[in-house]
Amino acid sequence: MNRILCGVAVLGLAGVILLCSCTTNLGPETLPSITTETEPTETTVPTETEETLPPEATEPSSTAVITDKIVENTGKLRVDGNRIVNSEGETVVLKGMSTFGIQNCEGFFTEETVKTLAEDWGCDVLRIALTGDKDIEGYLKDPDKYFDMVCKICDMCIEQGIYVIVDWNIAYYDDAEENKDAAIDFFQRLSVIYSDSENLIYEYNNYPLFYEEPDEDSDEEVNEWEDTIKPLATEVINAIRENNPDSIIIVGVPDNGLDIGAISESKLEFENIVYGCRVFSGSNKQEMRDKITEVIENDTCVFITEWCFCTDDLKGGIFTKESDKWAEFLDEKGISWCCFAIGSDIDNAANALLLNADNYTDAQKFGGHWPDGLLSSAGLYAREQLLKEPVVTEETEPTEEPSDDDDDGDDGDSDDDE
């Protein structure tokens, strides 16, 4: 699909996966595993007899709506001022889904689920969120395993013909240097493997966390962007640029990805940089839209890498009225976005799928082409926005502040079944 605007649960995979060796060397040995020791069996999901199937199992599965492959049609992307554009200089607005942290999605992303997101849901891009820290399950604890998982999902997206964002979403905590070194190693190896790919977009820290508190007796103010994020991002960008000199790189903004205005007077001195921020429809309203407007009018490219339709604590169901305002705003401004999130059975209002539902089969949950009953309110809304034809309009001034009636409570479905 080409959108160019003018002005879990674990699903066991058959076969034993041969994981790569994640060293700091940048030779062929850093390639992800691409073979299995044994040929996979044809069936990787449980089968059930007709007599045992619940009524919901007769619901029709989703089918392909989009057959174009956006990367074939649009090709390599670059940044021109406040826009992402193709080689012809035409604005490209990417719309897609983000994973949960991939340690929570093990086994979910297969060729069929990626195909479903691209063709049935209309995703131009899939964002892979690499989360966790050294004390919990995730990349820092098991880099071999999760580097290989990232590469496998990237390969599926490339085969499907969509873009893929690889997001280093690992918090600084109290050791920013260790985090930086791990990020540099990760992106160096990844950018070697995908140096010739038009599909890859790199993202460094969607919501970087800064924990160092200034001395109580000091008058010095700590500037998260200038003192922490910007210097660390500069080193990571340089590492990627050694192998991908002109790829798009997204850099997260301060205050957990919410302070988009912090970068306005001190942008990174690189080409093809996009600034990533998060939006929660139930918590971020007209004031946030005004800030984004101010930033893009300062010739800065913005990407909403996590758009949730609920509140910032991932509760309260979806806020339909505010989400509609955000959808209209993003269309008008030509801003790309990814909806958060899919791929896990985590129980919160942002989850697009009801993978904990006990009235659907494992084949329905993990085989892709999900029936509507398996989609949460957030999933149904996300799919609606992804499949919606973009509206080309003249840029307008931001709408007025919503009334108190618009701000109070949950404007949308309550997602009680989540």
H or E stretch covering 276: strand 273-280
Cβ(79)–Cβ(274) under 8 Å? yes
* pLDDT reported for residue 223: 85
Residue whose token pair is 């009225």: 321
Length of the chain: 418
The residue with greater pLDDT, 15 or 125, is 125
CA–CA distance from 52 to each of 57, 88, 359 (Å)? 10, 55, 11
The pTM (predicted TM-score) of the whole model is: 0.82
* pLDDT reported for residue 228: 84
404-417 average pLDDT score: 41
- In the 8-state DSSP scheme, what is residue 367? S
- What's the order of all strands across the beta sheet hosting 4-5? 4-5, 91-92, 83-85, 78-80
Quick check: 397 pLDDT over 50? no
- pLDDT tens, 251-307? 999 988 899 999 988 999 999 999 999 999 999 999 999 999 999 999 999 999 999
Q: Is the peptide bond before 327 cis (omega within 30 degrees of 0)?
A: no
- pLDDT tens, 55-80? 666 789 999 999 999 999 999 999 99
- pLDDT tens, 231-257? 999 999 999 999 999 999 999 999 888
H or E stretch covering 147: helix 143-160
Quick check: 213 pLDDT over 60? no
CA distance linking residue 88 with residue 71, whole number of Å: 14
Percent of the chain with pLDDT over 70: 75
Residue whose token pair is 């007209």: 286
